[in-house]
Amino acid sequence: MTGRGNLPERVTVYEVGPRDGLQNESGVVPLEAKVRFIDLLTEAGLPWIEVTSFVRPGAVPQLADAENVARAIERRPGIRYVALVPNIRGMERASGARLDGIALFTAASETFSRKNTNASIDETLERFQPVVTRARDQDLWIRGYVSTAFGCPYEGDVSVNAVSRVVRQLVDLGVDEVSVGDTIGIATPADVVQVVSAVVDVVPLEKLALHFHDTRGTALANVYAGLQLGVTTFDSSAGGLGGCPYAPGATGNLATEDLLYLLNGLEIQTGVSLDRVVEASRYLAGILGRRPPSRYYRAVA
């Protein structure tokens, strides 16, 4: 008995550190450091890297240098570089940035959507329409995020039906992948089984990604549950960067190192070098002046 069971042979790791991780950093990281960090992630072989966000510079000063980041990073064949695009103005800025794809961000919780994007869920989806059209014209790959899919910091429980509805709307809009996210890190495998079982009715498994936060230590258990259900794309952030900056010591995004350690142990192919991801995290730790929360990182670095 190998212990692998009926798990996928291969998994896609989608790296969100440069965008989702850095956007929560209060001190602005210099452009050169961001570029070096992304280049190290490229060297690690991460197949998808979300490098920045074309949000309004005043809203997230950390990512105000989006054009410059996209211009300066090294590209390698086979690696896709993606940026978050909130609306058509962001899309205009992104258009000249030599990206492979864009990501759109909405939520399963109405209150979270309003607080986070100043728009109802339906309004965010209306905003996406012209963005998707423009992205299609430019042959860009499109991802849609459904945040707070497992719970909301304002509303608490979020119904599986609410999640399915938004996932279906994104699929109808024409996105290539939907990333269903546990924004507050509250999910356990029972929730993963429930949510995945529901959304596979509206999105094919191969277009579904799961995005976990390790706030309560359950992220890898949730990944394992997702793998058993046939999910083959998982989001993670080098070093575990990001999440909730207001809870010191509490971690946010699942660390890429921890995810890779699990996948390696399960003999699932990723094409990513765990050692080199640690190097990327170590570099950024020097810039930020603190150790990343990744458990694997802390065990070895």
User: Is position 3 an interface residue for a second copy (rule: CB under 8 A)?
Assistant: yes
Provide, rounded to whole angstroms, the least separation between the CB of residue 94 and a second copy: 34
User: Is position 200 an interface residue for a second copy (rule: CB under 8 A)?
Assistant: no
User: Is position 282 an interface residue for a second copy (rule: CB under 8 A)?
Assistant: no
User: Is position 59 an interface residue for a second copy (rule: CB under 8 A)?
Assistant: no
Task: State how far the Cα of 87 lies from the Cα of 94, in Å rounded to an integer.
Answer: 10
Residue 72 burial (C-beta neighbours within 10 Å; 0-12, 13-18, 19+): middle
User: Is position 230 an interface residue for a second copy (rule: CB under 8 A)?
Assistant: no
User: Is position 108 an interface residue for a second copy (rule: CB under 8 A)?
Assistant: no
Task: State how far the Cα of 177 lies from the Cα of 205, in Å rounded to an integer.
Answer: 10
User: Is position 4 an interface residue for a second copy (rule: CB under 8 A)?
Assistant: yes
Task: State how far the Cα of 63 lies from the Cα of 74, in Å rounded to an integer.
Answer: 18
Task: State how far the Cα of 208 lies from the Cα of 215, in Å rounded to an integer.
Answer: 22
Provide, rounded to whole angstroms, the least separation between the CB of residue 29 and a second copy: 22
Provide, rounded to whole angstroms, the least separation between the CB of residue 14 and a second copy: 18
Residue 221 burial (C-beta neighbours within 10 Å; 0-12, 13-18, 19+): middle
Q: Is 152 a catalytic residue?
A: no
Stretch that binds a second copy, among 11-19, 82-90, 218-226, 278-286 (CB under 8 A): 218-226
- Are residues 290 and 29 in contact, defined by beta-carbon separation less than 8 angstroms? no
DSSP 237-264: BGGG--S-TTSTT---BPBHHHHHHHHH
As given in the structure block, the two tokens for residue 1 are 């008995």
Nearer to a second copy, 24 or 188 (CB): 188
Closest CA to 143 of 177, 182, 173: 177
Provide, rounded to whole angstroms, the least separation between the CB of residue 40 and a second copy: 21
Check 33, 88, 205, 244 and give the catalytic one. Answer: 244
Stretch that binds a second copy, among 18-26, 118-126, 141-149, 186-194 (CB under 8 A): 186-194
Stretch that binds a second copy, among 69-77, 111-119, 132-140, 259-267 (CB under 8 A): 259-267
Q: In degrees to the nearest 10, what's the CA dihedral of 64, 65, 69, 72?
A: 170
Report, as residue numbers or ranges, the catalytic residues: 244
Which residues form the interface with a second copy (CB under 8 A)?
1-5, 185, 187-194, 197-198, 214-221, 223-225, 247, 249-251, 255, 258, 261-262, 264-267, 291, 294-296, 298-299
